[in-house]
């Protein structure tokens, strides 16, 4: 029996890149009947609202959530500003798509999770890479035991420093910003998704701060291991301090998954399509005049083509809108999974700080 779609009244809180991307996708979805935007910067808000044809614009998320048309919300503010709008949406009782992480502080993340689960709300978190075919294929091979019992997972993420600089400039508390918490969490989620059902019991890590430390009191890179109760090991590393001229627009990732009867390796470095130009391009993540070579496809949300965003963020947004309108299941990360990923990244940072192993789970 075919399901009939429910009409959607969408509140978008945060009019940055992600709010715009998701808003453009939502504006084309047949179930979306109304869109409101809340953005602190009135110029930016006006631009986004005009681009997506929003029905309502305000600088106040409380004013937006008070509108009777609102039936669901996208939380797309800066990472360190998620908590208050999430709690306001919980109070309003609307399902949410929340950009990762739930919070940048573990105690605040636990508070948000408790509020969401206490209200029995359908709140999912934007781990966008789950909507790329290669990671869906990897998850399926692990889910169906094609590799046997997974015993070792390795991941290595390289990023140029544009993302790090952007994040450190936007926060007044650099201690809450780290490569693991902000960006390493994407690779961690993919690996933990493939390790679903296993229990992490300990982690050990080290960090480096020779580039971003003197400039922003930040961290360049972190490498570590997560150990599981059954003996499985996840070895992971991330550096977001590579030179701006590093060709990957954002992410360049390699993953290996070894099981008792099989192995799976994934090259997600995007070196298969290389663009080299004589003049700097206007598109991409924080374009820089010194970047004349690009690994195309390395911007995690996707790429603009024929006036639309194409790729995982568009797929993820459409899938979530279908989830709201039709009640269909999706592969989105739950709020509990998102809190777990923050806990693990905070534990790795804590281990690097202590220079000692940290027992898991790390308490808020």
137-155 residue pLDDT tens: 999 999 999 999 999 999 9
Domain count, the chain: 2
For residue 283, what pLDDT is reported?
67
* 285, 155: one domain: yes
Per cent of the chain over pLDDT 90 is: 84
- Span between the terminal Cα atoms of the chain, in Å: 46
Give me the half-sphere count of Cα atoms (radius 13 Å) on the Cβ side of residue 268.
27
* 25, 64: one domain: yes
Residue at 308 is within a domain: no
Question: Strand, coil or helix: what is 31?
Answer: coil
Mean pLDDT of 326-349: 97
For residue 280, what pLDDT is reported?
82
Give 343's DSSP letter: H
* 180, 288: one domain: yes
Q: In whole angstroms, what is the distance from residue 288 CA to residue 118 CA?
A: 45
Residue at 288 is within a domain: yes
The candidate with the shortest Cα–Cα distance to 207, out of 220, 218, 225, is: 220
Residue at 305 is within a domain: no
217-260 residue pLDDT tens: 999 999 999 999 999 999 999 999 999 989 998 999 999 999 99
Q: Which residues contact 177 (CB under 8 A, 6 or more apart)?
A: 79, 80, 104, 167, 168, 171, 218
Residue at 303 is within a domain: no
For residue 206, what pLDDT is reported?
98
Give me the half-sphere count of Cα atoms (radius 13 Å) on the Cβ side of residue 259.
18
Decide which of 176 and 83 is more confident.
83
8 Å CB contact between 187 and 255: yes
* 169, 273: one domain: yes
Q: In whole angstroms, what is the distance from residue 236 CA to residue 218 CA?
A: 19
For residue 181, count CB atoms less than 10 angstroms from its CB and return exposed for 0-12, middle for 13-18, buried for 19 or more: buried
Q: In whole angstroms, what is the distance from residue 239 CA to residue 112 CA?
A: 29
For residue 173, what pLDDT is reported?
84
pLDDT for 309 beyond 90: no
- Among 69-78, 216-225, 245-254, 351-360, the least confident range: 245-254
* 120, 205: one domain: no
For residue 3, what pLDDT is reported?
66
Q: In whole angstroms, what is the distance from residue 191 CA to residue 274 CA?
A: 27
* 261, 325: one domain: no
Q: In whole angstroms, what is the distance from residue 163 CA to residue 176 CA?
A: 15
* 109, 152: one domain: no
* 123, 23: one domain: yes
Residue-averaged pLDDT of the chain: 94
For residue 261, what pLDDT is reported?
98
8 Å CB contact between 298 and 252: yes
Task: Read off the CATH number of the domain in which 353 is found.
Answer: 3.30.360.10
The candidate with the shortest Cα–Cα distance to 235, out of 176, 187, 178, is: 187
* 99, 137: one domain: no
Alpha-helical (H) ranges within the chain are 17-27, 42-52, 61-65, 83-92, 106-118, 133-143, 162-169, 179, 185-194, 212-216, 312-326, 335-354
269-293 residue pLDDT tens: 999 999 999 988 776 666 677 889 9
Mean pLDDT of 113-138: 97
* 193, 252: one domain: yes
- Among 28-37, 181-190, 195-204, 303-312, the least confident range: 303-312
pLDDT band of 1, cuts 50, 70, 90: very low
* 138, 284: one domain: yes
For residue 75, what pLDDT is reported?
98
Q: Which residues contact 52 (CB under 8 A, 6 or more apart)?
A: 20, 23, 24, 26, 27, 35, 37
pLDDT for 338 beyond 70: yes
Residue at 304 is within a domain: no
Strands ordered across the beta sheet of 56-58? 56-58, 32-38, 8-13, 72-75, 96-99, 123-126, 333-334
Torsion angle defined by CA atoms of residues 152, 364, 116 and 178, in that order, rounded to the nearest 10 degrees = -60
* 86, 184: one domain: no
Residue at 282 is within a domain: yes
Residue at 306 is within a domain: no
Task: Read off the CATH number of the domain in which 58 is found.
Answer: 3.40.50.720
Residue range of the domain that includes 65: 8-129+314-335
Q: In whole angstroms, what is the distance from residue 77 CA to residue 245 CA?
A: 28
């Amino acid at each position: 029996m075919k399901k009939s779609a429910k009409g959607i009244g969408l509140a978008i809180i945060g009019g940055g890149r992600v709010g715009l991307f998701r808003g453009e996708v939502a504006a084309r979805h047949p179930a979306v009947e109304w869109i409101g935007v809340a953005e602190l910067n009135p110029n930016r808000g006006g631009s986004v609202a005009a681009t997506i044809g929003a029905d309502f614009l305000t600088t106040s998320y409380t004013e937006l959530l008070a509108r009777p048309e609102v039936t669901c919300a996208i939380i797309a503010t800066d990472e360190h500003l998620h908590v208050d709008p999430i709690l306001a949406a919980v109070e309003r009782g609307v399902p949410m798509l929340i950009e990762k992480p739930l919070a940048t502080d573990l105690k605040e993340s636990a508070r948000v999770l408790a509020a969401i689960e206490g209200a029995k709300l359908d709140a999912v978190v934007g781990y966008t890479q789950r909507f790329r075919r290669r990671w869906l294929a990897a998850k399926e091979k692990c889910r169906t035991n094609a590799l046997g019992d997974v015993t070792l997972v390795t991941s290595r993420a390289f990023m140029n420093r544009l993302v790090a600089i952007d994040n450190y400039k936007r926060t007044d508390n650099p201690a809450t910003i780290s490569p693991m918490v902000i960006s390493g969490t994407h690779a961690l989620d993919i690996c933990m998704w493939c390790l679903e059902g296993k229990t992490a019991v300990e982690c050990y890590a080290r960090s480096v701060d020779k580039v971003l430390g003197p400039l922003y009191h930040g961290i360049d890179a972190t490498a570590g291991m997560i150990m599981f109760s059954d003996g499985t090991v996840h070895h992971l590393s991330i550096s977001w301090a590579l030179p701006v001229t590093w060709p990957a627009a954002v992410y360049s990732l390699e993953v290996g998954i070894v099981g008792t009867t099989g192995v799976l390796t994934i090259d997600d470095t995007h070196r298969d399509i290389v663009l080299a130009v004589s003049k700097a391009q206007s598109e991409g993540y924080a374009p820089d005049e010194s970047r004349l070579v690009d690994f195309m496809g390395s911007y995690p949300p996707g790429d603009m083509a024929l006036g639309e965003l194409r790729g995982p963020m568009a797929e993820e947004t459409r899938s979530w809108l279908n989830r709201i309108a039709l009640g269909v299941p999706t592969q989105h990360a739950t709020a509990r999974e998102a809190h777990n990923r923050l806990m693990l990244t905070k534990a790795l940072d804590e281990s690097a700080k202590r220079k000692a192993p940290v027992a898991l789970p790390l308490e808020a």
